[in-house]
Amino acid sequence: MSRRHALVLSLIVAAGLLAPITSTRAADPAFCDGYANEAKEKAKLNNKLNCGFQGPRWSNDVNGHRIWCLIADQNTAQAETNNRALDIEKCTCQWYANKAMDQVAANKAKNCGFTGLRWLDNKQAHYDWCAKIKPGLDAMMSEVKARKAQLKGC
């Protein structure tokens, strides 16, 4: 094989090796700003609710999330956002169901006599309600506060 043919073959092989890198498009910087802020908010919830998730996905470092996003393609970054959201939804609903059951137990212990769906002694029902609202943190916190206020008046 001539030197020229070897050079051409080397260039073709190099182009083939680089093709996957150049064909993958990095995520848009504006998208990555949103991605990083969302990741930081979910990481804060992870800590606040004691979910226990660890690793880079749960870092509080907004710049780290942004940099990763900028080198990843947008579909991969979106998949990461979706997976993080599913994890935090499960944890949030678990937290809510546990909180509801603590308040239901207080209702019974104090003989308050509160009834209705808010006071249902069924952890799965509280979890399912939370999952149905995907979790609407405002709605969940409103329920927790309403039960707390009723218990305070008991």
Q: Which residues contact 145 (CB under 8 A, 6 or more apart)?
A: none
Long-range pairs of 74-80 with CB within 8 A, sequence gap ≥ 24 = 74/25, 74/26, 74/27, 74/28, 74/31, 77/27, 77/31, 77/32, 77/35, 80/35, 80/39
What letter represents residue 93's amino acid?
C
Over residues 90-138, the pLDDT tens digits come to 899 999 999 999 999 999 999 999 999 999 999 999 999 998 887 677 8
Residues 6+ apart with CB under 8 A from 147: 100, 103, 107, 114, 118, 119
Helix axis angle for 137-152 and 74-109, nearest 10°, is 10
**Which tokens in the block code for residue 88?**
């935090």
Mean pLDDT of 64-91: 94
Residue 87's domain comprises 3-152
Q: What was the pLDDT predicted at 52?
A: 94
Residues whose CB falls within 8 Å of the CB of residue 44, separated by 6 or more in sequence, listed in order: 60
Flag whether pLDDT at 38 surpasses 70. yes
Residue 10: predicted pLDDT: 31
* 12 pLDDT more than 50: no
Would the pTM count as exceeding 0.75? no
Domain count along the chain: 1
Q: Report residue 142 as tokens.
A: 């409103």
